[in-house]
Structure 1
Amino acid sequence: MANNFLLSLSLIMATILGLFIGTVSSSSSADWNILNQKWRFKVEKTTNDLKTYCESWRINVEVNNIRGFSVVPQECVDHVKKYMTSSQYKADSERTVEEVRLYLSSGCCTLKGDGKDSWIFDIDETLLSTIPYFKNHGFGGEKVNSSSLEAWMMESKAPALDHKLELFHEIKNRGIKIFLISSRKEFLRSSTVDNLVNVGYHGWTRLIMRGLDDEIMAARKYHSKVRQQLVDEGYRIWGILSDQWSTSYGLPIPNRTFKLPNSIYYIA
C-alpha cells in the first residue's frame, strides 16, 4: 500500500513539474517570438519614441534652442522630409503670414509716407523654395555643399512660395519699401533677380547680397550690419520675415520679427 502511495505521489509531482516546465518554456518562447503581441508592442513603442524625439528636435530648432547644427540627425531625416513637404508645413507658414497681416492691420506702424517706411524679406525658404534641391541632396542629412547648391541657384528654377508672394505685394502696395537681404553671394545676383522676377516678385527697393568682404562674416553680423546701414539712411524697419533667426540678431532691433519654419539647415 505504501508503495502504491509513493507511486501515486511521484506521478502527481511529475505532472506538476511537467506543467511548470511547459509553462516556463511556453512563456520563454513567446518572449522571443517576433509575432508575439508583446513583441509587436515593443517595436511600435520604439517607433513612436523615435517620432516623438524627432518632432521634439524639430520644434527645438524652430524655437532656437538647438543652434548651429550642420546636419539633421540621420534618424530624423525622413521625419523632417515628411514635414517640409507636408500640408502641415504649408499651414504653419500660412499662419505666420496671417500673423504678419494682423500685425500690419493692428495700427502697429504709423507710416509717414516719406519713403522711409521699410520691410525686410529673406529669400531662400522665405520668398523662394530650395526644397526641390534638397529632395535630391539628403534633405538635411548631408552637410550642405555650397558649390552644388549655388550651381542649382544659378539655374534660376526655385519656385515661389505662393503665400509669401501675395504678402510681398500686399506690403509693397501699402507704400512700404521692401529690402531683400540675402546670405547668397554677390556673384548670384543676376540669376537671383531672374528667378525672383520669373516667379512674380518685382518692385523691391534694393537687393542686398554678400560681397567679398561679407563672405567670411557670420550671417548674424552681416544682417546686423546691413540693418544698421538702412537705419543710418533714415529707414524705419517695421518688420522682418525670414526662416533663420540669424537675420534678426543684434542691433538695430526691428519692430517685429516673424520666423518661418525650416528644419533642413541652420545659418548662424
Structure 2
Amino acid sequence: MQMAKTPAVFLLIFSTLFISLVSADWNILNQRKRNSVRANLKSYCESWRINVELNNIRGFNVVPQECVEYVKKYMTSSQYKADSERAMEEVKLYISGCCTLRGDGKDAWIFDIDDTLLSTLPYFKKHGFGGNKLNASSLEAWMTESKGPALKHTLSLFHDIKDRGLRIFLISSRKETLRSFTVDNLIKVGYHGWTSLILRGLEDEFMEVKKYQSRVRQRLVDEGYRIWGIVGDQWSSFEGLPGAKRTFKLPNSMYYIA
C-alpha cells in the first residue's frame, strides 16, 4: 500500500512546484530578469507615451532615455500619421453636424501652430526626439529659417473649416519676435486666410502657456466670438476657461508645454 502512494505523492509535489513556477513567471519583476526585457521595455515605453497623451504624465523635461528610440519610431511611423489623420476625421465629422453658424462673422475656430499646423520633426530629428532638454534659443533659431513642413492632415482641415465660414485664430506660444518668420513659413506651405495670428508678447513671456491661452480665449469671447473648437498637440492649448465646445488633440510625446 505504501508503494502505491509514492507516485501520487510525487505527482502532487511536482504539480505544486510547477504551479508555483508558472505563477512566478507572471510576476513582472521576474519577467524583467528573463529574456523578455526588450519586450517589457517596449511595453513600458508605449505605456509611458500613451499616458503622456492622456495627460496622466505631466511636466516632464525630457523623454526617458530608454524610451527615446520608441518615441522616435512612433513619431516617424505610419501609425503617427494614421492617428493624426483619424483625429482630423473626427473634427470633420463633428463640424459637419455640430454647428449652426449665424453668418455674423463671430463663429470661430482655434489652431495651435507647432506640431499642429507646422511640424517640428526636422528640428527634433537632430536634437534627440525629446531625449535632450529643450534649448529654446536653438529651437527659435530653427524657426527663423521658416522651414517647418505642413502637417498635411491639418492643412486640409484648415481650409475645410475656413471654407465653411468660420473665422480662424492661430494662437501660439511662439514669441512675437518670430511673427514674420512664422507668417512666411505658414504661407509658404499653404496656410492663408486666417483672421488673426496671436503670439506671446513681452508681457506674456513669463506666464504659463495654459494661462496665456486662456486669457486670449477670454478676449475673443469678450469680443463676441463663439469658439466651436480647438485643435492642438498640447493639453495647455485647451486648459482653463473659457473653453471651446470641443477640443481635439494631436499626438506628440516629444515634449510637454505647461
Compute the TM-score of the two structures, normalised by the length of structure 1: 0.84
Which digits, 9 at most, give the CA deviation of each residue in 1:22-81, with x for residues without a partner?
Answer: xxxxxxxxxxxxxxxxxxx96640000000000000000000000000000000000000
Question: d(CA) in 2 for partners of 1:66 and 1:180?
Answer: 26
Between the aligned partners of 1:182 and 1:169, the Cα distance in structure 2 is: 19
Indicate the residue corresponding to 1:24 in structure 2. Answer: none
Shift of the 91–140 alpha-carbon distance from structure 1 to 2, 3 Å rule, reads same
* Equivalent residue, structure 1, for 2:256: 266
1:82-109 superposed Cα distances (whole Å, 9 cap, x missing partner) = 0000000000000000000000112x11
Counterpart pick for 2:149 among 136, 140, 159: 159
- Matched to 2:217, the amino acid is R
Residue in 2 that maps onto 1:60: 51
Question: Is residue 165 of structure 2 the alignment partner of residue 178 of structure 1?
Answer: no
Deviation at 1:177, TM superposition (A): 0.2
1:121 maps onto 2:111 in alignment: yes
Residue 183 of structure 1 aligns to a residue in which SS? strand
Amino acid at match of 2:121: I
- Equivalent of residue 78 in structure 1, options 69, 72, 82: 69
* Matches for 1:85-234 after TM superposition, within 5 Å: 85-106=76-97, 108-234=98-224
Secondary structure, counterpart of 1:105 in structure 2:
helix
Q: How many residues align?
A: 227
Q: SS where residue 213 of structure 1 aligns?
A: helix
The Cα of 1:110 is off from its aligned counterpart by 1.1
Q: What TM-score comes out, normalization by structure 2 length? A: 0.87
One-letter amino acid matched to 1:98 = E
Runs of 4+ in 1 over 3 A off after TM superposition: 41-44
**Identity %, equivalent residues:** 74
**Distance (whole Å) between structure 1 residues aligned to residue 177 and residue 46 of structure 2:** 37
Deviations 1:152-202 (A, max 9, x none): 000000000011101000000000000000000000000000000000000
Q: 1:261 is matched by which residue type in structure 2?
A: P
Q: 1:99 to 1:264 in 2, by over 3 A?
A: same
Superposed CA RMSD:
1.0
> Partner of 2:36: helix, strand, or coil?
helix
Describe the SS at the equivalent of 2:170.
strand
Report the 3-state secondary structure (helix = DSSP H, G, I; strand = E; otherwise coil) of the residue aligned with 2:157.
Answer: helix
> Which of the two has higher C-alpha Rg?
1
Return 5+ residue gaps in structure 1 as ranges: 1-40
Amino acid at match of 2:37: T
Q: Which moved more, 1:255-264 or 1:42-51?
A: 42-51
Structure 2: where are the runs of 5+ without partners?
Answer: 1-31
Measured against aligned partners, the alpha-carbon deviations of 1:218-262 in whole angstroms (never above 9, x if no partner) come to: 000000000000000000000000000001111001100000000
